[in-house]
Structure 1
Amino acid sequence: MFALQVDESTDIGGMAQLLVFVRYIHNVKIVNQFFCCKELKETTTGNDIFSTLSEYLKSVGLTWQSCVGICTDGAPAMIGSIKGFVSLVKREKSSVITTHCFLHREALVAKTISNDLKSVLEKVVKMVNFIKSRPLRSRLLTKLCEELESKHLNLLHTEARWLSRGKILSRVCELKEEMLTFFTLEQQEEFCDLLADETWCAKLSYLADIFELLNKVNAKMPGKSENGLSSTDKIKALKDKLQLWGGKVKEGNLDMFSHFALAANSGEIIPIISEHLAVREKQLQHYFPDICIENYDWIRNPFVASISTQYQLTLMEEEQLVELRHDRDLNLLHMQLPTDEFWVQIKTKYPHVAKKALVMLIQFSTSYQCELGFSTLANIKTNKRERLKTFEEVVRVFLSTIQPNVKRIFQSHQAHTSH
């Protein structure tokens, strides 16, 4: 069995590139690996993606019947109900599990902010763009920060899109005094008025704090061993935290917001913060409907979790789970191995229940590897290498972690003898 992580983007030459990663069982572990990078010649519809990937699967001896999961970014071409890529795959295998990337869904939640806070975010972006638009301005700000012995010397940029807002807001919040001096020298009255406004700065401080807290959650989800179960745990924890923070704010406790707790006139925007946290909690519930994660506790620990009809196990699977629970040797083995390795180890002895568990563990929960892959792709295909012919091979060398069998490669080639 295997699961796929699929995403599509446009390179510097304007060509659409389909990037795919695969997760499968190798020896005793579940591993992630680069699968393919295919150019979509014309349109980028769901049918184009499906046809391209189906052709590649056939060329490597695989079929959709072995696919148990697909993770996408949730774009219409991917999840369209009629002609979307996922819908076409489900016609081939209806039981395939589809996942909308957790990071993309959380990013959609992050966009839900009130007009008051949205205007602050837009002004910060405008300030940063003004400074970054010319190298001279960036150098002048750096020089000013050095003279003022600031903690940071400049604004920063991050390639991970879901981390950008939090990092930029935190840096602007920490450099607002230096930026006020800089904009005064540049005669930017609009920016000066904003940075001198204590209420506006209080809103900025809150945005810096809330995005920083969300970034901590996002940074924990892109791990290579991350699956739907572990990612769901983190989202459920975030839901409870938002509810907790909302209650603490109403009580006047602002300890969780480090920047905002130090801001002047912070009391004036408490109602805005309470509303924002409530709306964010509601949106999180919308994009992440309740998943009865407890129904999968038997996967994490089959020796402790009680058997329930909610697990939706067949009679054969339940019987094997009962036998497994009373196998003392495997109980001791379970304490020594990671969850995925444990189920791979016993899939021969208990094939039915092990397969049920592995189908869940092999799922991708994010399209993070594709995002990193596109960053690599941008570094490979530049203006001077826009027409690179062996593009997929170069990408494979960069992204694949498989060690090449040099001896076998040499045996398949004939050395040039001297004439």
Structure 2
Amino acid sequence: MRAAAQLLIFVHGITTDFKIMEELAAMQSMKGTTTGHDLVTEVNACLDTLGLKWDKLAGVTTDGYPNQMGKNVGLLKRMQDKVTEIDPEQKLVFLHCIIHPEVLCKSVLKINHVVDVVAKIVNLIRARALNHRQIVVLLEENETEHCDIGYHTAVRWLSLGKMLKSVWELREEIQDFCVKKGNGIPQLSDADWIADLGFAVDVTALMNKLNVKLQCKGLFVHKM
């Protein structure tokens, strides 16, 4: 499962009584290539399984990857070709998922000087089993809200906000622990860096909240 790309296909439409519906139609594991041809083959199989017709398709929303957006062999081009075969006059409406550009906004925040130090702190604690066990015991003894410190991965970017928040709330305990280990973190005593950390915590928390809100069913932009 980890080595396979996952293709999620959602169906968004209007019922006969004019109610808007959205459902997860299929989740396909792409264990081989993920070209536009591969994707449209899976989409076609999904529509066949559900008994849906290509000429009923009005629009497609994607997250903007090249294998979807390619103007010659991308998924959208191939889907338009499918519809054109049935009705040469029908043009699909292509939309871009707004969650993806919202994620990209994070890259312009210029908080790497904060994230890099926090990642170093977390790796120092989590990379060695003894350190990890000792920090967990310390947090339990101090009866802190957090009982552990989680990793951050670039793929699961939502974890960044959680990691920053946990380090922010445990910064004093972490500094004491690192000093005892002979690996004091000078940034944790730097008022300017601490201020930047607090800013990063607030911004990523707002972005996480927005991201979750964007994924709600039946939500329209004008209601956000």
Q: TM-score range by the shorter chain?
A: 0.7 to 0.9
The answer to whether the 8 A contact 1:120-1:203 is kept is yes
Matched to 1:101, the amino acid is C
SS at match of 1:37: strand
Q: How many corresponding residue pairs?
A: 216
Q: Find the aligned partners of 1:106 and 1:167 in 2 and give their Cα distance.
A: 18
SS at match of 2:147: coil
| 2:196 maps to 1:203 | yes
Q: Find the aligned partners of 1:91 and 1:102 in 2 and give their Cα distance.
A: 25
5 Å matches for 1:9-48?
Answer: 11-12=1-2, 14-26=3-15, 28=17, 29-40=19-30, 42-48=32-38
The answer to whether the 8 A contact 2:152-2:160 is kept is no
Percent identity reads 32
5 Å matches for 1:152-231?
Answer: 152-156=146-150, 161-189=156-184, 192-227=185-220, 229-230=221-222
* Equivalent in the alignment of 1:398: none
The answer to whether the 8 A contact 1:22-1:33 is kept is yes
SS at match of 1:21: strand
Q: What whole-Å deviation, never above 9, does each CA across 1:90-132 have from its counterpart, x for those lacking one?
A: 2334532222222221010111123xx3121122122223322
Give the TM-score taking structure 1 as reference length: 0.47
Q: 1:59 to 1:154 in 2, by over 3 A?
A: closer
Q: 1:169 to 1:16 in 2, by over 3 A?
A: closer
Q: What whole-Å deviation, never above 9, does each CA across 1:224-253 have from its counterpart, x for those lacking one?
A: 1124x34xx64xxxxxxxxxxxxxxxxxxx
Q: Find the aligned partners of 1:224 and 1:157 in 2 and give their Cα distance.
A: 29
Give the TM-score taking structure 2 as reference length: 0.82
| 2:67 maps to 1:109 | no
5 Å matches for 1:370-381?
Answer: none
SS at match of 2:108: coil
Q: 1:193 to 1:158 in 2, by over 3 A?
A: closer
Q: 1:137 to 1:100 in 2, by over 3 A?
A: farther
SS at match of 2:218: coil
Matched to 2:205, the amino acid is E
Q: What whole-Å deviation, never above 9, does each CA across 1:275-323 have from its counterpart, x for those lacking one?
A: xxxxxxxxxxxxxxxxxxxxxxxxxxxxxxxxxxxxxxxxxxxxxxxxx
Q: Find the aligned partners of 1:107 and 1:194 in 2 and give their Cα distance.
A: 27
Q: What whole-Å deviation, never above 9, does each CA across 1:189-247 have from its counterpart, x for those lacking one?
A: 4xx212122221111111111112222322321111124x34xx64xxxxxxxxxxxxx
The answer to whether the 8 A contact 2:25-2:46 is kept is no
Q: Find the aligned partners of 1:129 and 1:194 in 2 and give their Cα distance.
A: 16
Q: 1:180 to 1:161 in 2, by over 3 A?
A: same
Q: Find the aligned partners of 1:98 and 1:155 in 2 and give their Cα distance.
A: 41
Q: Find the aligned partners of 1:211 and 1:140 in 2 and give their Cα distance.
A: 28
Q: Find the aligned partners of 2:50 and 2:215 in 1 and give their Cα distance.
A: 28
Q: Find the aligned partners of 1:158 and 1:120 in 2 and give their Cα distance.
A: 13
The answer to whether the 8 A contact 1:195-1:201 is kept is yes
Please state which structure has a larger fraction of its residues in helix: 1
Q: CA RMSD in A?
A: 2.6
Q: What whole-Å deviation, never above 9, does each CA across 1:309-350 have from its counterpart, x for those lacking one?
A: xxxxxxxxxxxxxxxxxxxxxxxxxxxxxxxxxxxxxxxxxx
Matched to 1:225, the amino acid is G
Picking from 117, 140, 147, the partner of 2:141 is 147
Picking from 62, 68, 79, the partner of 1:89 is 79
Tell me how far 1:162 sits from its aligned partner.
4.6
Structure 2 unaligned runs (5+)? 84-89
* Equivalent in the alignment of 2:124: 130
The answer to whether the 8 A contact 1:162-1:218 is kept is no
Q: 1:15 to 1:214 in 2, by over 3 A?
A: closer
Q: Find the aligned partners of 2:139 and 2:31 in 1 and give their Cα distance.
A: 49
Q: Find the aligned partners of 1:119 and 1:84 in 2 and give their Cα distance.
A: 38
The answer to whether the 8 A contact 1:103-1:218 is kept is yes
The answer to whether the 8 A contact 1:103-1:162 is kept is no
Structure number, greater radius of gyration: 1
SS at match of 1:204: helix
5 Å matches for 1:219-368?
Answer: 219-227=212-220, 229-230=221-222, 234=224
Tell me how far 1:82 sits from its aligned partner.
2.0
| 2:89 maps to 1:78 | no
Tell me how far 1:66 sits from its aligned partner.
1.0
Tell me how far 1:59 sits from its aligned partner.
4.7
